[in-house]
Amino acid sequence: MLEIALGIIIFTFIVIALVFVIIGAKSQLVASGDVEILINDEKKIHVPVGGKLLTALADHGLFVPSACGGGGTCAQCKVKINSGGGEILPTELGHITKREAAEGERLSCQV
C-alpha cells in the first residue's frame, strides 16, 4: 500500500514540476500583450499578439475582401504594411511579387 501511495505522490510531483516548466518557458518564449495598429494614419486599434491582421481588422469593423476566408489562396486581401509584420511567408510568394514585397504589400490573412 505504501508503494502505491508513494508512486502516486511522485507521479503527481513530476507532473506539477513539468507544468511549471512549461508555464515558465511559455512566458519567456511566446510573445504576449497587445499590438498597436495605425490604419491610414488616422485610426489606431489595439489587438492581442498572435492573431491575423484580417481578423483583427474585421473585429474592429474594417472589412477587407477575402474570398478564400483567410486561407491565403485568393490574394484579395492585399494590404500595405509600413513596419512590422515579419518576413513574407511561403504562402504569399505566389501572390506577391518581389517589388510588391519590397514596397510592404502583404496578404492580411497571413500577417
Q: Where are the domains of the chain?
A: 1-30, 32-107
Residue with C-alpha cell 483583427?
Answer: 56
pLDDT along the chain (111 residues), means of 10: 93 98 91 84 87 89 88 89 86 90 91 87
The span from the CA of 88 to the CA of 95, in Å, is: 11
The span from the CA of 95 to the CA of 78, in Å, is: 9
Which residues lie closer than 8 Å to 73 by C-beta, 6 or more apart? none
Domain 32-107 = CATH 3.10.20.30: yes
CB 108 within 8 Å of CB 64:
yes
Give the model's pLDDT for residue 24: 94
